[in-house]
Chains A and B, each alone.
Chain A
Amino acid sequence: MDLRLIDNNGLQRWLTAILESGGRLFMPLTSDGLTFYREVQAKEDIHFDAFEQHRGKPYYSLKELLFPISEPVLRYQQSNGEFVIEDLAQDRNQPDDSPASSTHDIIVFGATPCDAAAVQVFDHVFLTGVVDPFYAARRSKMVIIGMSCTQAQPECFCTAVGLSPMSSKGCDLLCTPLDVQPDDETLVTQHSTQNPEAKADILVEIFTSTGKNLLENVQGNWREPSTRDEVQHLLMMKSLLNNRVQQTMVKKTALSNATVLLQRDFESPVWEDIGKKCLGCGVCAYVCPTCHCFDLADEYDVCSGCRYKNWDSCCFAHFTLHASGHNPRPTQLERYRQRVMHKFCYFLEEAGINMCVGCGRCTKFCPVGIDIYEVRARWQ
């Protein structure tokens, strides 16, 4: 295991150095009370306290950077009765605000472990079989630096879907603030005997060569653990801290694989009860780190237009509406059931990946309080 240590100021200075070296840095930034993963425009924006307990999650997940809400895929023009199509996947002159246009790496700092883990769902959808060149261009440039959660939010249930507040899945690097509280007796004793000065250390684990290259290419005030004992001690500290955070989680019971049960109960009256509540607003899909359905739509005038790929949701009434007026999913019962079945049954069977990372955003933002964890926990 390749480890480094750095303090909060050192980490901020390193991120500033990335920015100054021309890298495009994205991190959770708050404006008007809402936090999103946004591009850092000036080094003054790199201001955070890794030891802050109440960070919470960005409003939208990391998917926004790989799969924008709306993205042009081609343009067309008609002149003298002939159509000319401009293929935007081949176009190198995309607008500057598009990450695909940049030759620099897209460095994401501070990804929550759930958001980082969700990227593997997108990799499966957009890079397996038919490859989406827009996604591939962004993904190949992206370096993901995760930040372990030191406190669980009420909506969190990552451990129930096989992840953890300090999971490294999908991360190139993972930062864990070694946040030792005075009341953590075991940790305080362990820590002070090993390295009394290291109380404000952030542990950085290196998981990929991409992450390692970034560490080596941009100078920082890194400290490498000197002995095997120190490495073991640091990993044990992380494990103890991980346990401490997990103990504060409310939704603990693991959601075991229930594909067979879900299929058996496809016609269960339970779906009717849930379907009556669902308004079909689609917020669950928008805030979800793994939902990836999209629609192609044209914006056009008389002789030219642009075709966009836009986020969509299976909970929208129009999602499956046919031109004839027939809708194979006529009510919210069928639509919400599809959402749950896709996440916990179909995708799991097809890709072997859980299509829920337990971030709980859908529960937090649902206007009628539908809790996907409670819905899914009915089948165990």
Chain B
Amino acid sequence: MAMKNPYYPYLMEVREIYDETTDVRTLRLAFKENGSSSEFSWRAGQFGQFLVFGAGECPFTIANSPTRKEAIECSFKLMGKVTVH
């Protein structure tokens, strides 16, 4: 059994976009790979490490309920290099 690579990310697809203010945008992200949504769990208040290939990664708190696991919602404020993508 191959060992799991903790640096391997979950690929997400942007399903919906809401502009909350001029520089805060909420994304609704769905897992692209089958089975990932049941494997991934979180507790209220926990943050995720979000990465954009080539740009880098940064932590943001997951905004939706851990009981609604079909997607992840998160609000990003425009700041630094990663969030401009």
Contact = CB atoms under 8 A, between A and B. Distances in A.
Query: Are A and B genuine complex partners?
Result: yes
A130 B3 CA distance: 11
A328 B30 CA distance: 33
Contact of B53 (A130, A132, A300): A300
B56 interface: yes
A85 B2 contact: no
B5 A323 contact: no
A85 B54 contact: no
What bracket does the count of chain B residues touching chain A fall in? 20 to 34
Contacts of B56: 297-298
Given A298-B56, A305-B53, A89 B2 contact: yes
A298 B4 contact: no
Contacts of A137: 3
A88 interface: yes
B7 A83 contact: no
B58 A76 contact: no
B3 A89 contact: yes
The B interface, classified by DSSP as helix, strand, loop or mixed, is: loop
B81 A323 contact: yes
Nearest to B83: A323
Contact of B7 (A305, A309, A322): A309
Interface in A299-330: 300, 305, 307, 309, 322-324
Contacts of B81: 323
A322 B82 CA distance: 12
Interface of B: 2-9, 11, 53-58, 79-83
Nearest to A324: B79
30 contacts: A73-B5, A73-B8, A74-B7, A76-B53, A78-B53, A85-B8, A85-B11, A87-B8, A88-B5, A89-B2, A89-B4, A89-B7, A89-B8, A90-B2, A131-B4, A131-B6, A133-B2, A133-B3, A133-B4, A133-B5, A136-B3, A137-B3, A300-B53, A300-B54, A305-B53, A305-B54, A309-B7, A322-B80, A323-B82, A324-B80
A322 B81 CA distance: 11
A85 B58 contact: no
A296 interface: yes
Interface string A321-362: 011100000000000000000000000000000000000000
Contacts of B11: 83, 85
Contacts of A305: 53-54
A83 B4 CA distance: 20
A130 to B, nearest CB: 5
Given A90-B2, A323-B82, A296 B7 contact: yes
A131 B3 CA distance: 8
Contacts of A78: 53
Contact of B8 (A74, A130, A136): A74
Nearest to A137: B3
Contacts of A90: 2, 5
B83 A307 contact: no
Contacts of B80: 322-324
